[in-house]
Amino acid sequence: MKAFLVANPKGGSGKSTLATNLSGYLARRGHGVMLGDIDRQQSAREWLALRPRELPAIGTWEIGPDQIARPPKGTSHVVLDTPAGLHGKALEKMLKMSTRVIVPVQPALFDMLATRHFLENLREAKAIRKGRTDVAVIGMRVDPRTRAAAELERFLATFELPVLTYLRDTQNYVQATAQGLTLFDLPPSRVERDREQWQPILDWVEADGE
């Protein structure tokens, strides 16, 4: 089972946007996908409730009689959406479950400062140090040609982490989310530019041995 952890301690960084759209892509590929929301707000679970039944299915946690949450039977790919402030033992637990970590970052001062401590914690985590878990950083709501993008790249260079891709600020995400959809459920002509921006993420995901 492949598990992708979408994490950043800063609220509003774009975690749910990444988690839902990655889940939609994997479902379109025919995988047994579970979107596991461990955020108290349960925004991903609420989004799943809006998802039209005729679209490729995305599951969520099954709660057994023992009150333990487990992936549904047949799950091959897990996407974990995480709460703000994830750190310490909770972070270590999530990393043990994950094969890859996706860190969304907005190129704003407070976002980068909050992410600095998180990336330092990631660098010290056993799963990362031993190479069992890879990390990718995504620039959120930013044009790669701007000064803000350059500042983000300089910031991440101190961690020897490149920006995998930049996702622009567009209403396509807002409108899709409101209907329980993802970019990959919309007509390609409508989201062509956004899908192009997603391609480095998809290549990185597929390089994990899909």
Domain extents for the chain? 2-206
C-alpha distances in Å from residue 162, one per residue of 155, 165, 166, 178: 10, 9, 11, 31
- Please report which confidence band the pLDDT of residue 80 belongs to, taking 50, 70 and 90 as the band edges: very high
Give the Cα separation of 181 and 89 in Å (integer).
33
Find the mean pLDDT for residues 102-116. 90
pLDDT level of residue 39 (50, 70, 90 thresholds): low
What percent of the chain shows pLDDT beyond 90? 51
Residue 6 near residue 29, CB atoms below 8 Å: no
pLDDT surpassing 70 at residue 131: no
**CATH architecture of the domain formed by 2-206:** 3-Layer(aba) Sandwich (3.40)
Q: Is the pLDDT of residue 160 over 90?
A: no
Position 106 pLDDT exceeds 70: yes
In the predicted structure, residue 147 carries a pLDDT above the cut 80: yes
Least confident of 93-107, 168-182, 194-208: 93-107
Which pLDDT does position 210 carry in this prediction?
Answer: 45
Mean of the per-residue pLDDT values for the chain? Answer: 88
- pLDDT for the residue numbered 123: 78
Helix residue spans in the chain (DSSP H): 15-28, 43-50, 88-97, 109-124, 126-129, 147-157, 171-178, 192-206
Higher pLDDT, 4 or 69: 4
Please give the average per-residue pLDDT across 123-132, as a whole number. 70
- Closest by CA to 199, choosing from 159, 173, 152, 164, is 164
The pLDDT of residue 45 is: 82
